[in-house]
A and B are shown apart, each in its own frame.
Chain A
Amino acid sequence: MVMTPAIAIRGLTKDFRVSGSSKRLRAVDDLSLEIGRNSIYGLLGPNGSGKSTTIKIALGLVQSSVGECEIFGIPSINPAARTNVGYLPEAPYFQRFLTGRELLKYFGSLSNVPKDKIQDRIDYLLNRVGLEDAGDRRVGGYSKGMLQRIGLAQALVGDPELLVLDEPTAGVDPVGAAEIASLILELKKEGKTVLLCSHLLSQVESDCDRVAIMGRGRLLMEGSVDTLTQKEDFSSMRIDQVSSELRDSIEHLAKEHGGVVSSPSRSLEELFLELAKKKEEE
């Protein structure tokens, strides 16, 4: 049986009206992509590339002008599509008057967590994101890093299959960022799908299975991290269990025939900057 993808986007276009003018601003332009289940998918792009609008359409917060977006096969505009989704917005703002526990209880109730299980779920999540000692403090007094952590906990409160994380490590110290990265990998092991938007390209490169790079609303490149970082005019070959003499001979032979022997991959950061620069020049 073919499983429906976690997110399926087909021909998605979003135009915003520019206030005080008849002009329209195209935020997303004919975007198509598919995010398979149980994977970590990175959505990259410079500011204004259409990432946030795409996420908002997927969450039903914004309606598309043209095209379709489905979450587990359900049109994203239907609230049912969000029954299995947890969302951490960029720079999350929460009800400042609530304590961490109250916030999780509130979002847990809205995520249909059974009443008899909600307290255990809150304890477990506060512990998981390292806020067990801050659960009874008001969210208004949380630091930026703590807000990200409680945001992650509220995204997980309904135990969703799909997590949409917009800059989950923004404002978090390096140790905290590493903990969040390891939590994301654990979530994948638990069978969850993660859509990750991040400017920390090294994190995306190490954690994501597939990556899409957007620029000015368009999809510039999409594929597995290994494929994308492979240079087109380079080819690599993996030969295991050979002696160092044989490896030297192969290298020598390649050089004799005018070949250049070097590391065949580039970093995701190099690729990202290259694409962003190219788009800028256009």
Chain B
Amino acid sequence: MSESAERFSWSASRVVTIGLNTFREAVRMKLFIAMTILAMCALASSFLFREFNFGSSELKFIADFGFGGMTVFGSALAVIVTAQLFYGEIEHRTALTLLAKPIHRSEFVLGKFFGAWATVACFIGMLTVCLVFALWFRETSILAEYPDEFEGGKRIVQYGEIVWFSVVQIFRIGILCSVVILFSTYATSSLFAMVMGVLVWIVGQLQHIAIEARGVVDSFILKTVYALASFALPNFHLFDVGEKLALGESLPSSVYFKLFAYALLYATFYLAVASASFNRREL
């Protein structure tokens, strides 16, 4: 046996190949298109509130609506698409042919993760473009209609911060995709992976309550349970920066860096466990 054959190296190009194919599959899935249309319709519906004549407050309303759509639809798409893209390969037995090729299972796990993540990132990107366009369009109209509400006639929407909000949501989605991949590696149905993904998403959104409760309770056992829960599960509440960014307020770059590092840490941890779990899985 040759030494080169024995030490079969891990290849980033195989991860990219699997990732690109996963992305192509996702884009060709009708679900992706349906979700994109639905989210755009939801954003467009915010224009209906023009009838209430909010003036410049309408811009905050549209921004909140857009941020909410990105978070909710983005998370839903992340859970459904990731489970479909990963578990679907096992369910439809396409993984048999794929894993019979000279690839490491961790390459498959990572490829699927990046493909699913890129899909949802694209979705968020499209919503961001729509949101920016909607805000700019309304701001221009309101500026012409109510110039007194704009100090010195200057625009008040910080478009750069909207893009940063989207980037933060992409970090959050990265964690969620990795969680769903982890559950998919030992799931016996895609529904299980989706349900677990949704549960982690809900628990993650409420994580800050567990963290606060840890400081209040006296019981050592409860304290330990809360501590374990707050370390093992991500705190998605940290990524809810839309309130601050919607109008006016900027966040220091260190906050974005910390959120990126936080997402990277959790996603790496979940993907490492997912790879170990998938290595043991019999197909």
Contacts and interface: CB of A to CB of B under 8 A. Distances in A.
A110 B14 contact: yes
B244 interface: no
B16 to A, nearest CB: 9
B97 A62 contact: no
A118 to B, nearest CB: 12
A80 B101 contact: no
Given A78-B8, A80-B5, A154 B100 contact: no
Given A62-B283, A109-B17, A110-B17, A87 B94 contact: no
B282 interface: yes
Contact of B5 (A16, A83, A154): A83
Interface string B268-283: 0000000000001011
Contacts of A85: 100, 102
Contacts of B283: 56, 61-62
Interface string A147-173: 000010010001000001000000000
B1 interface: yes
B1 A74 contact: yes
Contacts of B103: 79, 110
Contacts of B101: 82, 107, 110-111, 158
A164 B100 CA distance: 10
A124 interface: no
Contacts, number: 86
B27 to A, nearest CB: 9
A73 to B, nearest CB: 4
B99 to A, nearest CB: 6
A87 B100 contact: yes
Interface string B127-169: 0000000000000000000000000000000000000000000
Nearest to A53: B282
Interface in B91-126: 92-94, 96-104
Interface string B1-39: 100011110000110011001001100110000000000
Interface in B66-80: none
Contacts of A79: 8, 102-104
Given A89-B93, A93-B92, A110-B17, A82 B100 contact: yes
A111 B102 contact: yes
A63 interface: yes
22 contacts: A4-B1, A61-B96, A61-B100, A63-B282, A72-B1, A74-B5, A80-B7, A82-B100, A83-B102, A85-B102, A87-B96, A87-B100, A89-B96, A89-B100, A95-B21, A98-B21, A107-B98, A110-B17, A110-B18, A110-B101, A110-B103, A111-B101
Interface of B: 1, 5-8, 13-14, 17-18, 21, 24-25, 28-29, 92-94, 96-104, 280, 282-283
5 tightest Cβ-Cβ pairs between the two chains A and B:
A80-B8, A87-B100, A82-B102, A110-B101, A97-B28
Given A79-B103, A87-B97, A93-B93, 16 more contacts: A4-B1, A62-B283, A63-B282, A74-B6, A80-B6, A82-B100, A82-B101, A89-B93, A93-B97, A98-B21, A107-B101, A110-B18, A110-B101, A112-B102, A151-B97, A164-B100
